[in-house]
Amino acid sequence: MAAKSRSARYYASNPKAKAKKKKYDTKYHSTTERKKYRSELNAARKKRGIAGKGGGDLSHTKSGKLVRESASKNRARQGANGKSTKK
């Protein structure tokens, strides 16, 4: 098992901050924009026959296409200052 990230360690030792983040995340992920984003990805995974099978993520490219990519690479990608470094 990998060690916790710096932010995970911070939230583990600061329950008030963790609660505040959870409240924000709940609000953010319940917006219509996020729901639409998730539904599009779920539909694409279903169409490709990989939904519910644990096989890879669908990653957005700069051109807007969806390509299959390992979850670890897709979720770890984050460039300087939070800017995307997508293909």
Q: What is the pLDDT of residues 16-30, one digit of tens each?
A: 999 999 999 999 999
Flag whether the pTM goes above 0.85: no
Listing DSSP states for 9-70 in one string gives: HHHHH-HHHHHHHHHHHHHHHTSHHHHHHHHHHHHHHHHHT-TTTT--EEEE-TTS-EEEE-
- How many Cα neighbours within 13 Å face the side chain of 46? 6
Q: How far is CA 48 from CA 9, 37, 58, 59, in A?
A: 37, 17, 10, 13
Asked whether residue 1 carries a pLDDT value surpassing 80, the answer given is: no
